[in-house]
Structure formats: C-alpha cells, structure tokens
C-alpha cells in the first residue's frame, strides 16, 4: 500500500496517494509513516490545518518526531500569520488580542534567538569608486581651489 501511495504521489496524484496512505494507516495503526506522508503532502499543498492534524497523529506514535513537530510549528505560524494579516487588514487587531499577539511574537523571537523576526531588507551596495587617475588629479586641484576660495563659481574655471 505504501509503495502504491508513493507511486501515486510521485505521479502527481496527491489525493489518490493520501487515500492510499489513510488505508495503510488503518491497516497498520502503529506505523507513523502513512501519517508522516499525509502531513508532508498537506503541508506542501498549503493545507496547514490538515497538515497539523496529520502531524499530531505522527506524534501519537512517536512523540520525538522532529519532522512532525516542524510541520506543526511552521503550519501553525503560517495559519497565525494569515489570520493576523486578515485582522490587521480589517482593523480588528486591538485590545487583548493585540497584546497577546505581541507577547507571542516576543516569545517567538526569544525562542529563535532573534531580536527581529523579519529582518529589514539589506541596504543597496555602495556605488563602486572609479579608478581614473587623471580625474583624481584634476579633482584634487579643484578641491584645493575650492577650499582656498569662497567663490562658488571658482569650480567652473
């Protein structure tokens, strides 16, 4: 059953694969493999709620499964981010909900060891300096002339 499900998944028939994995889960209830595959498939499809439920089935069978914990954590964050974005867009993020969201964001930053969850975009690189020796020589003369005179038109001479 697992082999057929893997073949179906590889062929892009994800729903057929999920059906076969569910059958395998019923036939072998102690095996976490079908639930792991379902959780991963649901996560990749953006079905985060279903991914969480399937990953929890994995944890029932193996409480230390890192992939299942990762799927739950990331799926939960994606769902939370989506919901908070919707609330912000509707201007309904206020009061205790706002405070709790800020507290959770602080906890998440501390857990990740980051002071900022979403870093700002990197600064654009500085323009490379030109290496033109004749221009430098003239520039130096003009600079000296500018420094020695308060005449703003001196640089035009």
Query: Structure tokens of 150?
Result: 């308060």
Nearest to 32 by CA among 14, 59, 5: 59
How many angstroms from the chain centroid is the CA of residue 116?
13
> Tell me, what's the pLDDT at 130?
66
Question: What's the rounded Cα separation, in Å, for the pair 72 and 56?
Answer: 8
Flag the least confident range among 48-52, 101-105, 147-151. Answer: 147-151
CB contact at 8 A, 52 and 40: no
Flag the least confident range among 3-7, 37-41, 142-146. Answer: 142-146
pTM for the model stands at 0.64
Question: What's the rounded Cα separation, in Å, for the pair 101 and 80?
Answer: 10
Local structure of residue 156 (DSSP, 8 states):
G
Residue matched to tokens 């912000």? 88
Residue 101 resides in a domain: no
CB contact at 8 A, 52 and 74: no
Residue 142 resides in a domain: no
CB contact at 8 A, 38 and 22: yes
Residue 61 resides in a domain: yes
Residues 42-93 have pLDDT tens digits of 999 999 999 999 999 999 999 999 999 999 999 998 998 888 888 777 876 6
Q: Which domain holds residue 63?
A: 2-80
The CATH number of whichever domain residue 21 belongs to comes to 1.25.40.10
Residue 25 resides in a domain: yes
Q: What would the mean pLDDT of 121-148 be, rounded to a whole number? A: 57
């Amino acid at each position: 059953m697992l082999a057929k499900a893997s073949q179906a998944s590889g062929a892009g028939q994800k729903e057929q694969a999920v059906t076969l994995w569910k059958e395998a889960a019923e036939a072998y209830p102690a095996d976490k493999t079908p639930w792991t595959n379902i959780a991963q498939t649901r996560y990749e499809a953006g079905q985060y709620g279903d991914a969480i439920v399937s990953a929890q089935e994995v944890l029932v069978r193996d409480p230390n499964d890192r992939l299942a914990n990762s799927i739950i954590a990331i799926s939960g964050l994606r769902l939370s981010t989506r919901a908070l974005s919707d609330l912000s867009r509707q201007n309904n993020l206020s009061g205790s909900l706002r405070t709790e969201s800020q507290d959770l964001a602080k906890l998440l930053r501390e857990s990740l060891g980051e002071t900022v969850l979403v870093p700002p975009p990197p600064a654009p690189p500085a323009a490379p300096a030109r290496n033109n020796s004749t221009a430098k020589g003239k520039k130096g003369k003009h600079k000296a002339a500018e420094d020695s005179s308060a005449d703003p038109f001196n640089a035009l001479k």
